[in-house]
Structure 1
Amino acid sequence: MGRLAIDTDYIAEQLKRLLEIPSPTGFTDAVTHAVSEELDRLGAPFEITRRGAIRVRLAGRSAQPARAMISHLDTLGAQIRAIKDSGRLELVPIGHWSARFAEGARATVFSENGTYRGTILPRLASGHAYGDAVDTAPIGWDEVELRVDALARSRPEVTRLGIEIGDFVGIDPQPEFLDNGFIVSRHLDDKAGVAVMLAALKAMLDAGVVPTVDTSWLFSVSEEVGHGASHILTQDIASLIVVDNGASAAVQNSAEFGVTIGMADMNGPFDYHTTRKLIELCRENEIRFQRDVFRFYRSDSASAIEAGADVRTALATFGIDASHGYERIHMHALRSLAELLTAYATSPVDIQRDAQELGPISGFPEQETGEADQRLGPDSGLPRRG
């Protein structure tokens, strides 16, 4: 059938809504409820795991071999590690992000007594007090502290507020949606991926399109700490498309426009056949794309494989500048990625043998080893829609 039309206003609406909900890993109940409410509104059947991961399953024209796509609801954040004598709070990060991006961030402490606002500051925060030392201070989580906007001048005053070690800290996203399509915010990883998946699901439901095979939309809640997809796949899922960010930087080939297909990450190559299927779907549907290899990156694919899932995985991303910092993306990439997901869900199954968990060699695919046709480049003559 090919790609479906995507409602970009819906993507923006859902992304804005998701960014308003703090969801550091371990504190994701509110975002699970919000996405569940939206799925109810769309009329999508879903179920929730004990810890709050969500599984939507659309019945296909055939049941097997089942497919899935996944994004994650959790974001970076912090927890209180210690309460200092000064009343300032020492933090430990949730997920892997640099303290240099935490400096100056507004934040919310979630205590048993309610929420408190505050700011993450360097230990040496005032040039008037410390002079040039503010410019030479080292960077690290031991070098920042959270100043609570309450009467919190000492450890006893902080504990009287009900703030305790281990309390979660949500970092303000500070989003901006620009008229030229750029979106700047924290936590676009991976709330933009969630918005993309919701938009692809909405397009399928609005058009009354039935997937080729049973297809699941999965939303994990612990990807940032490394085990998001470890508990949400069902055994019948033969292929998994991870929807996440692709780091756009001078040393990478990712872009903030079109789809960036991950060929490998720090855990090794993605599945040869599933990855090339996504590439062919981009070509067939005139979806702009580029490939990249990520050396310092892992995703829900890794946690699924490490948990023992015998599943083919591929990574389809939206290019993101300054990942795990103050991030920037473009709506063109989000729309393109949602189009690719609809094309994938309605595309033919190429490896029918994947319907079996175990079977004979008959029907097992082969990778290309023939001599290249040197008359044509790999992308020669291929259209790419702008």
Structure 2
Amino acid sequence: MTAPHIDRQYLSAVLAKLLTIDSPTGMTDGAVAFVCDELRDMGIAFELTRRGAIRADLPGARKSPDRAVAVHLDTLGAMVKQIKDNGRLEVTMIGHWSSRFAEGARVTVYADGGKTFRGTILTIKASGHTYNTEIESQPVTWEQLELRLDARIANGDDVRALGIHVGDMVAIDTNAEFTDSGFVVSRHLDDKAGVAAVLAAVRAVVNGQASLPVECHILFTIAEEVGLGAPHILHDDIAELVAVDNGTFAPGQNTSEFGVTIAMKDMSGPFDRKLNRHLLDLCETNGIEHSRDVFKFYRSDVASALEAGYDTRASLICFGLDASHGHERAHIDSFVAVGELLVAYLQSPPIDQV
């Protein structure tokens, strides 16, 4: 088996670029186009589904049954729910995240005709000079937030005159920072860091001219954050499915902050025992830093695939992420470890069916 080699500079560059592309669920075309360009540059065949997800193909010695690796391009975001009489916008969340982490976020509102507007999400009572201690007693709810546009407006009619409507998408700025110590601090590392790790792994396989025993489909899904995920892009020949997503690095968890984590169970149930054991063996054989973890409030592309009735072995591998769905931080070493495991997995023999 070819020794795994992940290009850290490529992985970091891809992640940095992805973090500049807004892709809340329902508005993923820009991220899809970027990944398609990367796949073309690597000479990898791919197709787009009707909804805009990507299915790329890595040929193997055996065509069927095959395997798949899934990672999602969509992120958390928001949407305009109402235009208020005072010219502020009521917003509703896209995906599942606390309004606590939306407070103070800089955003872009995407209106019809390609128009965009900048703004800030604030609590309704945002000024201590006006509301004094009332700002401390506001509930943590999306109804307690409003979006302040950076435009000369005094009322709702002024907002509508700009061309802003109910249902317009709101993308949250990442505020990405790559530190000298290897940490990446940014919103939306879930799951753009996973996408970067997958692309780096695929690039390593292609550049190394590695031979694969089984054909593998690399699936870039576009609706994982709203619970849809992989089912709209899978086919019945897939015998093994490995999803790539974040693992929660937090007290009470066993996720590796600097390695790859194999999830043993999440809220949808245990993952496939044989496939998990295979992934753990690959980590041990290849000297990849790793851990195992169990997640309480978590679901991924795997959950939606199994719930849709796909008869496939399924596992979840993770990079370590602190403050998931909030002000996130992760380390490049963890992304690299995910990529190394994927390279080893793609070159490994398939799991016995009995």
> How many angstroms apart in 2 are the aligned matches of 1:119 and 1:349?
50
Distance 1:53 1:3, change over 3 A: farther
8 Å Cα contact 1:2/1:285 also seen in 2: no
In structure 2, the residue matched to 1:238 is 239
The amino acid across from 2:150 in the alignment is: D
> How many angstroms apart in 1 are the aligned matches of 2:35 and 2:344?
23
> How many angstroms apart in 2 are the aligned matches of 1:153 and 1:260?
51
The amino acid across from 1:244 in the alignment is: D
3-state SS of 2:303 partner: helix
Deviation at 1:65, TM superposition (A): 2.8
The amino acid across from 1:337 in the alignment is: V
3-state SS of 2:283 partner: helix
> How many angstroms apart in 2 are the aligned matches of 1:3 and 1:141?
48
- How many residue pairs get matched? 353
> How many angstroms apart in 1 are the aligned matches of 2:3 and 2:265?
25
3-state SS of 2:116 partner: strand
The runs of at least 4 aligned residues of structure 1 exceeding 4 Å deviation read none
3-state SS of 1:179 partner: coil
Structure 1: runs of 5 or more not aligned:
354-363, 365-386
In structure 2, the residue matched to 1:19 is 19
1:98 aligns with 2:98: yes
For normalisation by structure 2, the TM-score amounts to 0.98
Deviation at 1:43, TM superposition (A): 1.0
> How many angstroms apart in 1 are the aligned matches of 2:50 and 2:272?
30
Deviation at 1:17, TM superposition (A): 0.6
1:306 aligns with 2:307: yes
In structure 1, the residue matched to 2:5 is 5
Q: How does 1:126-205 map to 2 (within 5 A)?
A: 126-205=127-206
8 Å Cα contact 1:3/1:340 also seen in 2: no
Deviation at 1:350, TM superposition (A): 3.2
User: What do residues 98-119 of structure 1 show as CA deviations (whole Å, max 9, x unaligned)?
Assistant: 0000000000000014000000
In structure 2, the residue matched to 1:63 is 63
Deviation at 1:252, TM superposition (A): 1.0
Distance 1:248 1:168, change over 3 A: same
> How many angstroms apart in 2 are the aligned matches of 1:32 and 1:350?
31
User: What do residues 154-187 of structure 1 show as CA deviations (whole Å, max 9, x unaligned)?
Assistant: 1101110110000000000000001111000000
Greater Rg over alpha carbons, structure: 1
The amino acid across from 2:108 in the alignment is: T
> How many angstroms apart in 2 are the aligned matches of 1:251 and 1:148?
40
8 Å Cα contact 2:275/2:351 also seen in 1: no
Q: How does 1:218-367 map to 2 (within 5 A)?
A: 218-351=219-352, 353=353, 364=354
For normalisation by structure 1, the TM-score amounts to 0.90
> How many angstroms apart in 2 are the aligned matches of 1:159 and 1:141?
22
In structure 1, the residue matched to 2:45 is 45
> How many angstroms apart in 1 are the aligned matches of 2:50 and 2:3?
34
> How many angstroms apart in 2 are the aligned matches of 1:325 and 1:187?
9
> How many angstroms apart in 2 are the aligned matches of 1:140 and 1:287?
42
Aligned sequence identity (%): 52
In structure 2, the residue matched to 1:73 is 73
Deviation at 1:97, TM superposition (A): 0.3
CA RMSD of aligned residues (A): 0.9
In structure 2, the residue matched to 1:378 is none
> How many angstroms apart in 1 are the aligned matches of 2:63 and 2:202?
18
In structure 2, the residue matched to 1:360 is none
8 Å Cα contact 1:2/1:347 also seen in 2: no
The amino acid across from 1:191 in the alignment is: K
3-state SS of 2:192 partner: helix
Deviation at 1:341, TM superposition (A): 0.2
3-state SS of 1:132 partner: helix
